[in-house]
Structure 1
């Protein structure tokens, strides 16, 4: 039987809506296994709130251009990104929007190009990217999309898109399972990466919405640590010290490189990505994220290069309940 396909802007809007609902439903369990890079128990909340901003923008964007829709969603996500995971999700959306500019229908070659762009941008956004995280799950999904596209010789049919979507979810699931062994922190705690699970859910939402199917039953069954009755693992771990600083700021590429270097000296978990890349612009907007002992030295460095907006400073501690009513 021919797979029913809806791969237009309306389908992507439904994807965003389903992602918001799904991440909301899973946020507590994602929080419960969130121990890397900091055991602060808020990855689920951060992914949900970031995606909620993206969905709000997507639903009010008119037209049929997939790139325009994704760019609007990505810009909203970037401006309101929460934490490491939310920032990386925003980077992913921004990168995916670039190959889709001018396209009115998603197909397998376009999906492969979008995920490959997202992989490259996401890995380059971090100063110290690691396997065993959202990055490795995205990498596996991108590779699966490219292999599926190559095996079908660039076929842009609905059938080829269906095959590619199934392949990326299968590859993402396998990558999530591997995360437990790729990072010592996850291996010791016997859990998979929380952000990786969140990305898996986002990808399965895309597959389900485009193919007019339900989310895969039992997709998360058996994942290490992902037990709906389990306690929040971070609550038994040492409280993280320091703060998380986030903002958006207009920078030239040279100033952005300078800022990254200086933030690397002050802290870790540095993520910097342009919201929209424009090779002809002298400066453009960047999303900045860093973990550091004190906020003011990092903010002073940032302000020395421009005027930051949407500045957020939060303590690196188990904050699941603190964020619940945001």
Structure 2
């Protein structure tokens, strides 16, 4: 195969950098079609700022270990994650990193395994996962990578096999984004696709672009419903959810984490909990929840442990 493939840690660092730039360029459009789970117009901003934290953490890191690179990126992203979309991106990166520990060159089988792990981590982090979102893209992409490997007659470790998987997952991601419009009632009514799902498509396109040396044409996304510069800020016409978004980091053992998740499920929604890194007695957890009042959630959290890096954002005035 004559096509040059970049599949080492430098290529993955390039991917994170390209991810940040592309999400920044697309953030206004993603914000404009952000109506789920809250019509607060900030999905693009949240994805961009979270990805930027990941990039900042690895900008001077020199390692040949892809897993080490992505672990550092994911932990920084988790600690600084913004909103539902940013938190799920950070969790996805953490999942990707796990099978890549010690890996110096990305291959088709390893990528398929990493995408599966990223999907599992993201779906399990949510108490009430919903299809028709970026989770659907993760699921379809992981399945596409797995099925492509099963059908392929190419040498698993070959560059051609990696290209085959990259091509397949980006095509599957685009199809999954288009499908979101009919998977969520709110999206179908507004005649748009899901903002977080488009963000995942952009992220995966940039992965393929970084490894294959391709430039992504922004016009490729112009056919997606609602993703047209002539129809800005669709989210402003959707009724806003009242309440606040509470996020924090807290160190808990397994029982404490399960207890906190259960209590947050009772008082709020959009509950996301994912381990950041291990501690002596358990893990540092990143916590995200939407609740009517911040004080109630913070009382519950402080009843279990000692939160740090606490942020409270008003869902009514949040506007990217």
Same topology, TM > 0.5: yes
The equivalent residue for 1:170 is 171
TM-score by length of 2: 0.97
What is residue 191 of structure 1 aligned with on the other side?
Answer: 192
State the match for 1:271 in structure 2.
272
Contact kept, 8 Å, 2:35 with 2:235, in 1: the verdict is: yes
1:128 aligns to what?
128
Q: Where does the alignment leave 5 or more consecutive residues of structure 2 unmatched? A: none
State the shift of 1:217 in Å. Answer: 5.8
Give the whole-Å Cα distance in 2 for the aligned partners of 1:147 and 1:122.
Answer: 20
Runs (5+) with no aligned partner, structure 1: none
After superposing on structure 2, the runs of 4+ consecutive aligned residues of structure 1 that deviate more than 3 Å are none
What SS is found at the alignment partner of 2:156?
coil
Deviation at 1:148, TM superposition (A): 1.6
Superposition RMSD in Å: 1.4
Corresponding residue of 2:30: 30
CA shift for structure 1 position 240: 2.1
* Mean Cα deviation higher: 237-246 or 286-295: 237-246
2:55 aligned residue: 55
**Residues 261 and 288 of structure 1: CA distance in aligned 2, closer, same or farther (over 3 Å):** same
User: How much has 1:218 moved relative to structure 2?
Assistant: 3.7
The corresponding residue for 1:87 is 87
**Partner residue, 2:244:** 243
The alignment covers a number of residue pairs equal to 319
Q: Is the 8 A contact 1:244 1:316 kept in 2?
A: yes
Partner residue in 2 for 1:284: 283
TM-score for both structures, normalised by structure 1: 0.95
**Pairing of 1:202-281 with structure 2 (within 5 A):** 202-216=203-217, 218-276=219-277
Is the 8 Å Cα contact of residues 38 and 240 (structure 2) preserved in structure 1? no
User: What CA distance in whole angstroms lies between the structure 1 residues aligned with 2:261 and 2:299?
Assistant: 14
| Aligned-pair CA distance for 1:151 | 2.2
Structure 1 residue aligned with 2:70: 70
Q: Please, which moves more after superposition, 108-117 or 59-68?
A: 59-68
Give the drift of 1:59.
1.4
CA distance in 2, matches of 1:106, 1:219: 26
- In the TM superposition, 1:106-145 aligns within 5 A as 106-145=106-145
